[in-house]
Amino acid sequence: MMKLFLLIYVLAGPTLAGILMTVALAARMSNTAMFWLIAAGFIIALPVAWFVAKAIDNMTPSRKA
């Protein structure tokens, strides 16, 4: 499951950070606020990736022989 989590995080982290960066640019926030929003996007992506990976892992059949 760890490989799946990392794969999803690699996609979700930059996506959420980019969304929050776009919000900061549209709101004309300072560079400091933009930095914190980008960091928050990467941090928020951790539990999101974990729950998505867990849900996918639960839906796939067991590979144990």
Can you give the pLDDT at residue 1?
A: 86
Mean pLDDT of the chain: 93
Identify the H or E element spanning 34.
Answer: helix 31-59
Where in the sequence is the domain holding 13, given as residue range(s)? 2-58
Domain count, the chain: 1
CA R_g for the chain: 15
pTM: 0.83
Confidence of residue 64 (pLDDT cuts 50, 70, 90): low
| First and final C-alpha spacing in the chain | 17
For the segment 18-49, what is each residue's pLDDT rounded down to a tens digit?
Answer: 999 999 999 999 999 999 999 999 999 999 99
Q: Is residue 64 part of a domain?
A: no
Q: Is residue 63 part of a domain?
A: no
